[in-house]
């Protein structure tokens, strides 16, 4: 699936819920299905700077695709990173770099987060794109 198709699928899923309480519960459930990072990567080097919670992200290249794993010590944050990994994992670096993240506004996520969590969300996206940029540079 393309990044755009995955984003549209997420928008559709979120539209099924009537209120934000249900959406938060869905995000918590998504967090439980997160491809977990191996303990060896739960280090300062893999922490995302700018997040209120602790969020670790690891990436590697597999057959020209970036594969992400992550974990967080906060359940909502774990759900947020799970959504982002669902969108960006198993995609090529160029597509990750060119992808927009308007779907976040379309599901209303940013406006329903505290300012510190919203900043963390931006930091997570930036970090995932930085990994993609590093791989893109290595490929050229």
The CATH class for the domain spanning 3-139 reads alpha beta
Catalytic-residue membership of 51: yes
Q: What is the pLDDT of residue 98?
A: 97
Confidence of residue 114 (pLDDT cuts 50, 70, 90): confident
Residue 11, judged by CB atoms within 10 A of its CB (0-12, 13-18, 19+), counts as middle
- Calpha distance 72→75 (Å, rounded): 7
Give residue limits of the domains in the chain.
3-139
Q: Which of 51, 96, 99, 125 is catalytic?
A: 51
Q: What is the mean pLDDT of residues 118-126?
A: 94
Q: Tens digits of per-residue pLDDT, 48-84?
A: 988 889 999 999 999 999 999 999 999 999 999 999 9
């Amino acid at each position: 699936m393309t990044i755009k198709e995955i984003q549209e699928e997420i928008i559709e899923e979120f539209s099924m819920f009537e209120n934000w309480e249900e959406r938060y519960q869905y995000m918590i459930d998504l967090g439980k299905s997160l491809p977990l990072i191996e303990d060896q990567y739960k280090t300062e080097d893999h922490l995302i700077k700018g997040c209120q919670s602790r969020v670790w992200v690891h990436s590697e290249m597999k057959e020209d695709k970036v594969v992400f794993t992550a974990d967080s010590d906060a359940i909502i944050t774990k759900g947020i990173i799970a959504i982002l990994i669902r969108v960006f994992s198993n995609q090529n670096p160029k597509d990750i770099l060119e992808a927009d993240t308007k779907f976040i506004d379309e599901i209303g996520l940013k406006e329903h987060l505290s300012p510190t969590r919203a900043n963390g969300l931006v930091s997570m996206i930036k970090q995932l794109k930085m990994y993609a940029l590093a791989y893109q540079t290595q490929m050229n």
